[in-house]
Amino acid sequence: MKAQLRLYQPTRQAMAQGRVPATLWARRESGVWVHASSYCLRGLEVTRAVWGATLGRSYVVITSVVDGRHTNPKSDHYLGNAWDIRKRDLRVPERRLALQRLREELGEGYYVIEERTHFHAAWRPQGPAAELGA
């Protein structure tokens, strides 16, 4: 089952100018389009703002939204509620700060966890699943 994938990937310049994707993060699988939810789109905007205001970065690299393979078949990515953020371009203290600020700014209903290669963030009011496989 191969998913048809269509992603809007903003340029660095677009991110620097605050022109964030209003849409279109979508994935077609078995004839059904899965779009990033409005919660996810808000999360992407908050992420961009934190990377700008707190870390002084002109861009943030989003490595996955509804695309990619995730070990958990119930991954929030498949529901359009999760996004992954690259962390290798941040120093360790910046990662700590980013994680803290992101959690504060996203607020209730969201969670953020640090994975080996990225931060996994998602809208899930009931909290992270027992088996994350983010």
User: Minimum CB separation from Zn ion for residue 6, in Å?
Assistant: 19
Between 31 and 126, CB nearer to Zn ion: 126
- Please tell me whether residue 5 adopts helix, strand or coil conformation: strand
Footprint of Zn ion (CB under 5 A) = 84, 120, 134
User: Minimum CB separation from Zn ion for residue 130, in Å?
Assistant: 16
**Nearest residue to 121 via CA among 99, 90, 93:** 99
| Chain residue at closest Cβ approach to Zn ion | 120
Give the integer Cα–Cα distance in Å for 19 and 41: 13
Any idea of the CA torsion for 119, 68, 76, 70, to the nearest 10 degrees? -90
C-alpha 134, offset from chain centre: 11
User: Minimum CB separation from Zn ion for residue 17, in Å?
Assistant: 27
Between 98 and 134, CB nearer to Zn ion: 134
User: Minimum CB separation from Zn ion for residue 120, in Å?
Assistant: 3
Between 15 and 122, CB nearer to Zn ion: 122
Between 54 and 72, CB nearer to Zn ion: 72
Please tell me the number of Cα atoms within 13 Å of 55 on its side-chain side.
26
